[in-house]
């Protein structure tokens, strides 16, 4: 499972001209589910994301988490995070999970986040979405559950 976490002042996702999800100060998370991912990967990423200390404290240091600031979360599914671009110029997405399984784990990730945070919104799985955001910093972190699983 891969995630791109962007610290935002606000973000929204639109489908067919209608805003279907938004957040104020917090994170926009683009989430890609890989073939073979399980609930374990969703749990690891969710725990790491809600506790990620990249908001400034009173001293101006990145030392506060979403939980600390009562931040909001907007989650958008994005299978293209699993792109294989090694050969040629057209990536393939064979490493991404099949749609039914990817949607199940995407929904599971959102439910985990809702247990921790006051506000969690999302895009629509499989829809053509338009994402708008005001990146704060900018601060952008890429996470991979494989890295979290390794002990190196």
Q: Which residues are catalytic?
A: 78-80
Residue that is written with structure tokens 């931040």 in the block: 71
Q: What is the dihedral of CA 82, 67, 11, 48, to 10 degrees?
A: -10
Residue that is written with structure tokens 């639109």 in the block: 14
* Cα–Cα distance measured from residue 109 to residue 102, given in angstroms and rounded to the nearest whole number: 10
Q: Give 96-101 contacts, CB < 8 A, sequence gap 24+.
A: 96/32, 96/33, 96/34, 96/35, 97/33, 97/34, 97/35, 97/36, 97/37, 98/35, 99/125, 99/126, 101/33, 101/37
């Amino acid at each position: 499972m891969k995630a791109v976490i962007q610290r935002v002042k606000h973000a929204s996702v639109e489908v067919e001209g209608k805003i279907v999800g938004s957040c104020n100060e917090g994170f926009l998370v683009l989430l890609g589910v890989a073939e073979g991912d399980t609930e374990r990967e969703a749990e690891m990423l969710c725990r790491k994301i809600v506790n990620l200390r990249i908001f400034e404290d009173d001293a101006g240091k990145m030392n506060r988490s979403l939980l600390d600031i009562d931040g909001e979360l907007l989650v958008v599914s994005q299978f293209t995070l699993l792109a294989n671009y090694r050969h040629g110029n057209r990536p393939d997405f064979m490493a991404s999970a099949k749609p039914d399984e990817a949607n199940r784990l995407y929904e599971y990730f959102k439910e985990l986040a809702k247990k921790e945070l006051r506000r969690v919104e999302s895009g629509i799985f499989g829809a053509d979405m338009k994402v708008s955001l005001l990146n704060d910093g900018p601060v952008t972190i890429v996470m991979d559950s494989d890295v979290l699983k390794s002990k190196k």
